[in-house]
Amino acid sequence: MDQELIRQREAFKKRAIAQPTVEKRKSKSSNDGEKSKKPKLSSNKPKESKSGSSTFDYKTATGSSQYKFGILAKIINFMKKRHQEDASYPMNIDDILDETNQLDIGNKNKHWLVSEALPNNQKMNVTVEDGETKYQYKPTYNLKDRKSFLNLLKRYDLNGEGGILLDDVEESLPRASQALKKLGDSIVYITRPNDKKKILFYNDKYCQFNIDEEFIKLWRGVSVEGQDERKIEEYLEKQGMTSMQDIGKTVAPVQKRKRKGGKRTFKKHNDHLELQDYGELKANKTG
Residues 149-167: tens digit of each pLDDT:
999 999 998 888 888 999 9
Do 152 and 105 fall within a single domain? no
- Is the pLDDT at 98 greater than 90? The verdict is yes
- Give the domain CATH number at 131: 1.10.10.10
Are 165 and 199 in contact by the 8 Å Cβ rule? The answer is: yes
Average pLDDT of the chain to the nearest whole number: 75
Rounded average pLDDT over 223-239? 79
Q: For the residues 174-188, what does the mean pLDDT come to? A: 89
pLDDT band at 12; cut points 50, 70, 90: confident
pLDDT tier at 122 (50, 70, 90 boundaries)? Answer: very high
Q: Evaluate whether residue 274 is within a structural domain.
A: no
In a domain? residue 223: no
Residue 21: strand, helix, or coil: coil
Answer yes or no: is 233 within a domain: no
In a domain, 227, yes or no: no
Please tell me the predicted confidence (pLDDT) of residue 4: 67
Domain extent at residue 159? 146-207
* 93 Cβ contact list (under 8 Å, min separation 6): 110, 113, 114, 118, 133, 135
Q: What is the mean pLDDT of residues 220-225?
A: 76
Residue 92 lies in a domain: yes
The structural domain count of the chain equals 2
Residue 183 has pLDDT above 60, yes or no: yes
Instruction: Find the mean pLDDT for residues 77-98.
Output: 91
Per residue in 155-170, is it b (16+ CB within 10 Å) or e — as a string? ebbeeeeebbebeebe
Q: Examine the domain organization and report whether 132 and 65 are in the same domain.
A: yes
Same-domain status, 65 and 130: yes
Verify that 131 and 150 share a domain, yes or no. no
Q: What is the pLDDT of residue 243?
A: 59
Top pLDDT among 6 and 260 is at 6
- Please indicate, yes or no, if residue 201 is contained in any of the structural domains: yes
Q: How far apart are CA 134 and CA 131, in angstroms?
A: 10
In a domain, 115, yes or no: yes
Q: Are residues 128 and 177 in the same domain?
A: no
pLDDT-derived band at 60 (thresholds 50, 70, 90) equals very low
Q: Return the higher-pLDDT residue of 13 and 252.
A: 13
Looking at the fold, whether 112 and 171 belong to one and the same domain comes out as no
Do 158 and 189 belong together in one domain?
Answer: yes
pLDDT: which is higher, 227 or 200: 200
Looking at the structure, tell me whether residues 152 and 127 fall in a common domain.
no
146 neighbors 153 (Cβ within 8 angstroms): no
Confidence band for 88, pLDDT divided at 50, 70 and 90: confident
Whether residue 13 is contained in a domain is answered as: no
Side chain identity at residue 102, one-letter code: Q
The per-residue pLDDT for 282 is: 53
Residues 175 and 201 in one domain: yes
- 65 and 96 in a single domain? The answer is yes
